Amino acid sequence: MRSSFLLSTFVLALLLAGCDATSPQSTVILNANSPESPTTEYTFSYDPSESGAITVQSQSDDNLTSTLETNGFRRDDITSARVDSVKLERLSPKGLSRAERAVFDYLQGATVYLGSNTDGPRIAEASFQTTDEREISLPVQTADVTGTVKSGPTRAFLRLDTADESRPDRNRDRVRVTVYFRIEVRSV
């Protein structure tokens, strides 16, 4: 009886070891808790006096290539890329009084696309009341962006909906969109 138990245990251990040897490569998950997190900040500059919806492309591409390299990976190693969360922050021009720096005093909504126009994945969208908060979290609309992220650095595209009666009398305004990714990569 005891030898039967030992033989069963030995066979089970052998099978499990065999399964580990033939299993696919392991993966590593990079997220906000990683030493070098896959977070990208996109900055947008626009004319706030435009009527209706304001559309603008980010000033730069994502920095995910650098983040991946710092963690020892490349874009080719990506097996999954998801958007965890998106934050919209108002960057007020220098020289404005505290009252003039009210964050979203004329905005009523925002939509963020990953790409240079609305053809890219719509990753976040929200309608909101005007507020004096410094930043707003936008609900994620499309989480799976594996193909877009894997294909190379990309810009973001932003659509801002304005309240016609309260637009500021300024030449330029700036906002920052921070995208928090969860990226799974193949490990060697």
Task: Check residue 108 and give its pLDDT.
Answer: 84
Task: Check residue 53 and give its pLDDT.
Answer: 86
Q: Rounded to a whole number, what is the largest CA-CA distance in the chain?
A: 89
Upper half-sphere CA count for residue 27 (Cβ side, 13 Å)? 12
Q: Which residue has the tokens 């969360």?
A: 85
List, run by run, the mean pLDDT of 10-residue segments along the chain (188 residues): 41 33 71 92 87 89 95 95 95 60 72 96 90 85 95 96 68 89 91
Helices within the chain (DSSP H only): 2-22, 64-70, 146-150
- 53-57: strand order across its sheet: 53-57, 156-162, 107-114, 122-127
Task: Check residue 87 and give its pLDDT.
Answer: 96
Task: Check residue 29 and give its pLDDT.
Answer: 95
Task: Check residue 121 and give its pLDDT.
Answer: 97
**Cβ contacts of residue 174 below 8 Å, gap of 6+?**
43, 44, 45, 46, 90, 91, 92, 93
Q: What is the pTM of this model?
A: 0.80
Task: Check residue 17 and give its pLDDT.
Answer: 35
Task: Check residue 164 and give its pLDDT.
Answer: 64
Q: What is the DSSP-derived secondary structure letter of residue 104?
A: B
